[in-house]
């Protein structure tokens, strides 16, 4: 109880957080006690946070359950704290087969930090899974993953969210036949907006996954997620080969540079109609689908429903 009240207080104290439209943290029954959470090994690290595998061992006999725990790095700021809070509040609203399941939050009596507890997916992200399991994954499997990502995204959109960080590194593998979207760290609600989200802090954005309108106008539409899906589909069809990764390919195309210079050059290349190439061995039909995600104007892009029916047609 006290823990939850403190979470609410953190939210209220931080002017960067807009509490309106947020679910009340106080209603959450899923509190994990920090003292029962045993760290096993790191699972991954991003810009702001880290994810660790832990055993929640409330009986103290090692029979507890394995969970994935996301926390902030020690040097994190108030903005980052509020981002993790927002991520928690987003994830707990979502319930779909192709979205990583929220389990709860952890906090300790008197502490000021908190963590996000989610289900643990032992096979990691597509970025680790695909290159290591290439021999047993054929194109049908890749297309199944692509369709499942679209189904998760269609649901996310139906809940008025824009993901803003769709990429192979953020799609987790439950089994050979099931993938789930994770990492809602940049996800924004567009409920009270005009169908798009305007970026307030530019941060370190995944520019090579971003559509022109995101790079130029800092506006994110549902169709901007479709563009990022196209880049994710490209990654999937390369089996996440790092030599063929979007940053590697775009850097070859526009030359290496840093910061705003990269964005400027990337935008010029995209406006000149340049796109990622067809991955080796990728059927033309799939490349056409990718390109329909990369139409310059958001209005001309295919949507997730359209993608799902295209993938269904390809199944037979």
Site for ligand ADP (CB under 6 A): how many residues?
20
Q: Which of 151, 183, 213, 225 binds Mg ion (CB under 5 A)?
A: 183
* Residues between 91 and 120 with contacts to Mg ion, criterion CB under 5 A: none
Cβ pair 250, 208 in contact under 8 A: yes
The span of 29-37, 42-50, 198-206, 265-273 binding ligand ADP (CB under 6 A) equals 42-50
Q: Which is nearer to ligand ADP, 72 or 308 (CB)?
A: 72
* C-alpha triplet 46, 234, 202: angle, nearest 5°: 40
The yes or no reply on residue 182 touching ligand ADP (CB under 6 A) is yes
Is 138 noted as a catalytic residue in this protein?
A: no
DSSP label at 24?
A: P
The yes or no reply on residue 240 touching ligand ADP (CB under 6 A) is no
The yes or no reply on residue 46 touching Mg ion (CB under 5 A) is yes
- Token pair for 179: 């993938």
The DSSP element (H or E) to which 72 belongs, if any, is: strand 65-72
Binds 223: which of Mg ion, ligand ADP, none (CB < 5-8 Å by kind): none
The yes or no reply on residue 170 touching Mg ion (CB under 5 A) is yes
The span of 91-99, 115-123, 152-160, 308-316 binding ligand ADP (CB under 6 A) equals 115-123
Q: Which of 120, 208, 221, 229 binds ligand ADP (CB under 6 A)?
A: 120
Instruction: Report the C-alpha gap between 254 and 149 in whole angstroms.
Output: 29
Give the three-class secondary structure for 29: coil
Q: Give the ranges where the chain is alpha helix by DSSP (H).
A: 2-13, 78-91, 126-132, 139-158, 212-217, 222-237, 246-254, 260-271, 284-293, 304-315
The yes or no reply on residue 44 touching ligand ADP (CB under 6 A) is yes
- Token pair for 39: 């760290």
* Residues between 95 and 114 with contacts to ligand ADP, criterion CB under 6 A: 100
Instruction: Report the C-alpha gap between 179 and 124 in whole angstroms.
Output: 10
Binds 164: which of ligand ADP, Mg ion, none (CB < 5-8 Å by kind): none
Cβ pair 7, 107 in contact under 8 A: yes
Q: Which is nearer to Mg ion, 182 or 230 (CB)?
A: 182
Cβ pair 87, 187 in contact under 8 A: yes
Residues with active-site annotation: 165
Binding footprint of ligand ADP on the chain (CB under 6 A): 43-44, 46, 49, 51, 68, 70, 100, 118-121, 124-125, 169-170, 172, 182-183, 185
């Amino acid at each position: 109880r006290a823990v939850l009240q403190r979470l609410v207080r953190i939210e209220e104290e931080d002017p960067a957080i807009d509490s309106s439209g947020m679910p009340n943290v106080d209603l959450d029954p899923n509190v994990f006690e920090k003292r029962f959470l045993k760290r096993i090994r790191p699972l991954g690290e991003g810009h702001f946070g880290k994810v660790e595998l832990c055993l929640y061992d409330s009986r103290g006999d090692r029979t507890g359950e394995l969970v994935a725990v996301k926390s902030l790095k020690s040097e994190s700021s108030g903005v980052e704290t509020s981002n993790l809070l927002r991520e928690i509040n987003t994830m707990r609203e979502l319930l779909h087969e192709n979205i990583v399941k929220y389990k709860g939050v952890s906090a300790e009596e008197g502490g000021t930090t908190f963590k996000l507890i989610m289900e643990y997916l032992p096979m990691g992200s597509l970025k680790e899974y695909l290159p290591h399991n290439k021999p047993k994954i054929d194109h049908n499997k890749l297309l199944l993953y692509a369709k499942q990502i679209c189904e998760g995204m269609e649901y996310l959109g139906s809940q008025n969210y824009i993901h803003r960080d769709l990429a192979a590194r953020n799609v987790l593998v439950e089994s050979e036949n099931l993938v789930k979207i994770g990492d809602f760290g940049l996800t924004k609600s567009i409920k009270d907006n005009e169908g798009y989200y305007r970026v307030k802090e530019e941060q370190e954005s995944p520019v090579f996954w971003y559509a022109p309108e995101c790079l130029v106008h800092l506006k994110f539409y549902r169709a901007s997620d479709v563009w990022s899906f196209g880049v994710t589909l490209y990654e999937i069809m390369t089996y996440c080969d790092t030599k063929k990764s979007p940053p590697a390919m775009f850097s070859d195309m526009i030359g290496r540079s840093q910061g705003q210079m990269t964005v400027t050059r990337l935008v010029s290349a995209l406006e000149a109609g340049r796109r990622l190439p067809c991955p080796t061995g990728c059927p033309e039909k799939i490349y056409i689908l990718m390109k329909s995600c990369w139409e310059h104007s958001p209005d001309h892009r295919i949507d997730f429903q359209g993608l799902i029916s295209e993938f269904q047609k390809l199944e037979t």
